[in-house]
Chains A and B, each alone.
Chain A
Amino acid sequence: MNKFIRSAMLVVVCALMLNACAPATPPPTAPPTIPPPTTAPAQAPQPTAVPPTAVPPTVAPTKAPAPTVAPTAAAPAVDPNKKLKLVMVQHALCAWDSFWCVVQKGIETAAKQMNIEVTVLGPDKFDLEKTATLIDQATAAKPDGIGLTVTDAKLFKDPINRAIKAGIPVVAYNAGSGPDKDGIPYLTYIGQDEYQGGYLGGLRMIAAGGKKGVCINQQVGHAGLDLRCKGFVDAFASKNLKAAVLGITDDPAQSQTTISDYATANPDVDAFLTLGPNGANPFYAWLKASGKKAGDVKHGTFDLSPEIVTHIQDGSTLFGIDQQPFLQGYNAVMSLALLLRQNVSPALPVTATGPGFVDKTNVAFVKALAGQYR
C-alpha cells in the first residue's frame, strides 16, 4: 500500500513538472490566416445535368461570397517551397478495403511529387465513432492542413468545426456532399457525387430494360452508400418503377444466400446494383449457382475489381461506376498544397471526380490501370 502511495505521488510530481515546462497558456490562436474560400456563385453547376433530389437550384450561399482578392491584413506569404505536414483522416484503409489502396496511392504520389509529409489515419474496421475521434486527434497534432472523408455529416460536424476553428484548412475527399449540403464550412468536396452515381446507374439499367430494381448495400448506415441506393431508387421512381434496398453482411457465404432468398421472394426483380467488390463477389457466386446466363438479369456495380472487369467483358455486368479514387487522393493533397503554398483555393463546393461509367466499350482501356490508378 505504502509503495502504491509513493508511486502515485511520483506520478503527480512528474505531471506537475511537465506542466511547468509547458508554456503557461497556449499562444492565442491567431485568427485563421487562410483567406475565406472563394465560394462559387449560388448555382454550383453539378457535373451532370440530372435533377438532384430536392434542393432548389437557387440556394443562396449562406455567406456572401468574399471578394477573390486576398484580405489586406495578414495576407499569408506565398512560399512555393514551404515545408508542409498534412493529415488525412478516412473511414477506411487500404489495409482492409482494397479500394482505398488506390486512394492512398494517389495521396502518396502527390506527397512525393510535391515533397509533403502526409500521415493517413483510419479505423481498423468500419467504425464512424472511431473515425470522428481520429479527426480530433488529427487536429491535436496541429498539421498545416487536414483532408478527410465526411462519411457522416452529423457525426463529423463538431470534430471538423473544431479543426477549422483551430485555423487548419480542411478539404473533404471520397465521402461528402459539399460544404453547403453538409452544413460544414470546409473548402471543397473532392469526389464522386454519390447520389448522381446511383441515379445515373439506375437510368442506365432502366434503359437496358430493367423493370424492378434492388440496391445491395454491404454497409447500411454509410451515408455515401445510402445515397447511392437513394439515387438508384429515385431513378426507378422517376420512371414510375419500383426499387428497394437489400442489406448484406461481411460474410460472403451468408450474403450469397441472402441475395438468393431475396431473388426467390421477389422473382420480378430484374435489375441488381452492387456497391463495390464486396457486394459483387457474392452476387456473381449466386448468379453462377442459380444457373442464370449473362443478360438474364441486369447487373451494374460501383467500382472495379479483376472479377468485375471480367464480367463487364463477357456482358453479364452492364457497367462499373468508376469514381477515380486515385484522383481523389491526389487532388486532396494538391488542393491543400496549393492553398498553403500559393494561396490558391478551390472554386466549387463539389470538385467532381466521378461518376465515370466503365462498360464494354472502354473496359479494355481502363483494365490496364485497374487497381493502380483507376
Chain B
Amino acid sequence: MVNARLTWQREIRHLFAESSVAGPLFTLIFVFILSSLFVPHFFSWRTVSGIVNAATLTGIVTIGVTLLMISGEFDLSVGSLIAVGGYLFGQQCAHNSPLLGLALAFLIPGFLGALNGLIRVRTGIPSFIATLGTGFIFRGAAWILSGGSMLQLTDKLPIYDIFNGRFNLLDDLLPGANFLTSLLWLLGTVLVFQYVLVRTRYGNHVFAVGGQVEAATAQGVNVERVKVINFAISGALAGFAGVFTFCQFQTMRVASGSGTELTAIASAVVGGALLAGGSGSIWGALIGVLLISMLRTAVVLLNIPFIPADNFEAIVGVTIVGAAIFNNWVRQRT
C-alpha cells in the first residue's frame, strides 16, 4: 500500500519533470476550478463554448508558430498571412468557387512562409527581423489583393458551415452551448501535428534543430530543410486561420489578424515552449491559447467595479506573465 503511494507520487513528479505540458495543464485546471467557484456565470456551457470559440482563430496560428519556435525560429508575419489567406478565400467565395479559394488560401500563404524560411537560412538574418519585414510586405500584398477595400459578403455558402458554422450535434445536446465546427478542425490539426512532433523522425529533427544545431548536423539532419518546411507550415496554417475568420464573419479587412502573431507567441510560451527553441509541445500551445482566452472571459464576467470594461486587457497581461512565471517555477522544482 505504502509502496503504491510512493510510486504514484514518483509518477506525478516524473510527469512534471518530463513533460512540458504538465505545468500549463495544471495552471489551466487550477484557473478553471477557481473561476468556476468564484466567477458568476462562469460554470456553464455558454461560457466554455465562448472561451473555445475565441481561441480557435489564434489556436490554429499558434500551432504553426509553436512548431517553428521548437525549431528555434520566430514568425511575426503570420498576422498578415491571415489577411492574405482570408482575401484569397473570400474573393473566390464571391465568385462561387470556394474550393479553389481554399486551395489558394493554403498554398500561397504556405509559399510565402517558405519564402520567410529561405530568407532566414540563405541570408542568416535572424527570423525575428526577417519576418518583421516580410510581415509588412505581406500586409502590402493583402492590400493589393483587396484593392484597398473591406470584403463583406451577405450570401451564405455551405462551405462556411463546414469550417466554422454551428456545431449542431454538440449544441443541441448541451444546454446553452454555442460550439462551432472550427473546434473539430482545431482538434484535428492539433492531433496531426502532435503526432508528427513526437512520433515521427521529422518531429525528432524539429527538436534537434532547435536544441543543438551542431549535434543535429552531425547526425545528418538537414537543418535548413527542416526550418524552411516549418516556416511553410506556419504560413499555411495562418492562411487556414483566414479561411476560418471569413467562414464565421464573411468579412475581411486588410488589417484583419494584426496582433495575432504576438498572442500566438504568448500562448506558445504560456503553453511551455522555450523562446530559445528545443522544447515545447502542440498540446501545450493549445492549453496556452485556452488559458489566455479563459482569463479574458473570467475578467469580463467578474465585473470588477474599479476596473472598467475597457481596460481589462491589462489584467490579462498580468496573468500571462504570472502563468509563465508559474510554469517555470513548476518545471524547476520537479
Chain A interface residues toward B at CB < 8 A = 93-98, 101, 124-125, 214, 217, 220, 244-247, 249-254, 256-258, 260-262, 264-266, 277-278, 281-282, 285, 289-290, 305-307, 310, 371
Contact = CB atoms under 8 A, between A and B. Distances in A.
Contact of B310 (A94, A246, A250, A265): A246
A245 B311 CA distance: 9
Given A101-B148, A252-B248, A217 B41 contact: no
B309 interface: yes
B46 A260 contact: yes
B132 interface: no
Given A247-B313, A256-B53, 6 more contacts: A101-B148, A252-B245, A254-B57, A257-B51, A257-B54, A261-B50
Contacts of A281: 249, 251
B258 interface: yes
Interface residues of B, number: 48
Contact of B54 (A245, A253, A278): A253
B139 interface: yes
Interface in B255-307: 255-260, 263, 293, 296-297, 300-303
Interface of B: 40-41, 46-47, 50-51, 53-54, 56-58, 136, 139, 143, 148-150, 152, 154, 166, 178, 244-245, 248-249, 251, 253-260, 263, 293, 296-297, 300-303, 308-313
A142 to B, nearest CB: 28
Nearest to B56: A253
Closest 7 pairs (CB-CB, A-B): A98-B150, A247-B310, A257-B54, A96-B255, A96-B254, A261-B300, A257-B50
A93 to B, nearest CB: 8
B245 A250 contact: no
A250 B303 CA distance: 22
B309 A244 contact: yes
Contacts of B58: 251, 254
B148 A251 contact: no
Nearest to A284: B249
Contact of A265 (B40, B139, B255, B258): B40
Contacts of B249: 252, 281-282, 285
Contacts of A306: 152, 154
Contact of A245 (B46, B139, B308): B308
Contacts of A310: 154
Nearest to B41: A264
A217 B310 contact: yes
Nearest to B300: A261
Contacts of A265: 40-41, 300-303
Contact of A254 (B54, B149, B312): B54
Residue from B47, B296, B309 having most chain A Cβ neighbours under 10 A: B309
